[in-house]
Structure 1
Amino acid sequence: MTLLGCIADDLTGATDIALNLVRNGMKTVQVAGVPESQVDLDGADAVVVALKSRTIPARAAVEQSLNALDFLLSAGAEQIFFKYCSTFDSTDQGNIGPVLEALQHKLACDVTIACPAFPEAGRSLFQGHLFVNGRLLSESSLRDHPLTPMRDPDLVKVLQRQSGGQVGLVPWEVVRTGHAAIAQKIEAARTEGKTLLIVDAIVDDDLRAIGQAVASHKLLSGGSGLAIGLPENFRRAGKLHPYDPVAGFDYPSGAGAILAGSCSAATREQIKNAITVGFPALQLDPFKLAKGSAEVQRACDWLSERLDETGLPPLVYSTASPDEVRDFQVEYGRDRAGKLVEEAHKTLARHLFGLGVRRFMVAGGETSGAVVEALGVPMLEIGPEIAPGVPWTRSIGGDETVALALKSGNFGDADFFSKAWGMSQQ
């Protein structure tokens, strides 16, 4: 039976937490959306349901998340983890608070924690304030995120604006003293009527202590970093068996390609690096996408000519600067602008598959979701790590096996694409 059930609000976030669970000894399967029929979870210790709920209306996000919860409970999950981005991507209208409170209500949990910290990826929490690579969230590139701009680093205030209950804080001065003190602080907050608690964490040992403190909690929430502290609870209870995620993982034969939709600073730098080292590259013009199919056809034709041109896979990107994204959204509206780009990447993914591509590298959560949907991938097996939060994965089910490196826009070093491609060649 499944021990841990995870609900992730986007596809790359799901892969991110699945990787951390696998790294710490839990056999993990990732499911694309809530299955409409029974699926074989292959004896997985943890199951991660990848939704596409981060930027949709809060009411729809709640409905999707509750459906995922029902599926995970039916699979026998003993503990539920609501996973969102380590930069707490959301808005004052949701979706983290509304979803978290809906899950609380369904599971009858009067208090639960929220800890998006992921020190290995440069995300830390101190006094309830989120830092990205040592800078306040509000001073990082995330302040200009095209869908969820984050301009308030005080997560107690951010979550309070989204929630009906009272939000409190477990500060680092408590966290650093260990799991017993953390558990005591949570219990004290419960008696004070607090229902949601932001929990500070600066280093991985903080996350392990937090994980031990909440071993008996039915519901947790946070970024993927918190997942490193959970497997040991099940191992301590004698419920885990040894598991090697790399053994037996191989890459399907066939060509490779890169599709990039994220507009994050990290992805822009990765594209620049890829072009510098010789990856064939083509940029999509979003304004031309809005005028018909000619722009996508241009990219399809270009791909058809270049798959075998060099030893490096071709790269097609819709990535643009914050100002360019803003202009496009002003012209066509945020939702339509995003839909146009996603549909373009879906068409490109299907075209590439038809050309024999079986190794896909994808940048951006929304883009990754579009590609997985276009390829009809129902489940993913988690493989070797490329960068913190980003593994190679392999499809389970479907007509033909594909390998996918699904990268959150903000993750990975400048040479990410070169590294990912090199790994798949070994």
Structure 2
Amino acid sequence: MMKDCLQFLIEPAKKLKIRLKESRKRVRHEKKEAPVESQLFIMELARELNKICQRSGVLGHIWTGEDIWPASVCRDFMVEWAAVLEERVQSRISPYDYQYEKPEKKDWKGHLLCMLEAGGEADMGPYKRIIMDWTWGIKSRPQPTVWPGEPVLMMLDDLEFQWKRGRLANLLPAVELVMLAVLNADSPVKEDVTKQWLVRRQRCQKTDAARYIPHSVWNWICDAAEDVTLDLGSANPDLLISSDQKRMRCGLEHRVAPRSPRRFDGWWCAVAQEGYTSGRHYWEVEVGERDWRLGVAKASAARRGFRSLNADTGYLSLRLERGADLKALTVPATLLTKSAVPRKVGVYLDYEQGQLSFYDVERRSHLYTFNEKFSEELYPVFGTVEVVKDLVIRPPNVRHPCLCPGPCLWN
């Protein structure tokens, strides 16, 4: 019997040891695999940009090859920035310069083999040419060094620190920040690069837009904090609203209230007293664990009945269903990552930029952004079906503690 028990313990240990060995071999093999052409191109670009911004060493990790991005992300990066550069410097570079260098004349078999070895990257040639012409143009100037500014360097340090901690998938946001800083140095009208970076990143949902928000940018978002209160006249009669109009949850009994086009009589929702037609606005909400919705409702959006509350009906919102399914209510709905169900949600509206963004306050990370040209008044909207835990609108002067190790570098 004892022998059987020992065998029972030893066999899984043997299998685990074998699997660990295989895993280590696989990791060593993967590390030795050469980066594809698009990845090498981005690494080379990062090296050139790092030379330009000599007072920040954040991109040195890319030069050493420690940070390798998927080829699809590299391709998206090249296409987007080639379009930006083409628009900014079109007057200085002739269209002829955009032509991709044709391969040397080979027999058809050799040419086909060359294309196969390139891994389908030949179509990226024009975009690479635009970007490299731009970097070579900067390097050829008498004074190539560009001082990006203290806020940009603080953001770069923040991004690198979070990348080392594993909170940032890669250093692509840092490369984009440096490119914006260099472009801004060329521009006759100077802009705040850190804010411009946030707007650009949040316009792209496909490349992990801006999961981590640097501290200086987060402070700028929080500076737009508003004192938001619930509108009792809009609340579903079944909702229990606190006396300060900052808390709400579902009651256990159905209640009757005067009918009004302002009032939700189907979904368990309410809007805020305040509506916005311009400017930047930010509010934070402590949410439940099972079901909630947050966002804005357009002034023209219908509130009665159980019609879908999505982008087509005038509602830009996030919803948590069954405690696990976090989704942006686009058409069709966009399912967000299940590993980031927040407990405190920040909602940020930039009316002029046409952006409504959602953040996980505790992780200080981006969840989703609606991009739309706003043309009517927008009201913060809140919804819950929980009967135990309140949905709470947090005071505007409350901020999540800084994540800096030791004394904060930015306060």
Greater relative contact order (Cα 8 A, min sep 6): structure 1 or 2?
Answer: 1
**TM-score where L is the length of structure 1:** 0.24
In terms of fraction of residues, the more strand-rich structure is 1
Larger Rg: 2
**TM-score where L is the length of structure 2:** 0.25
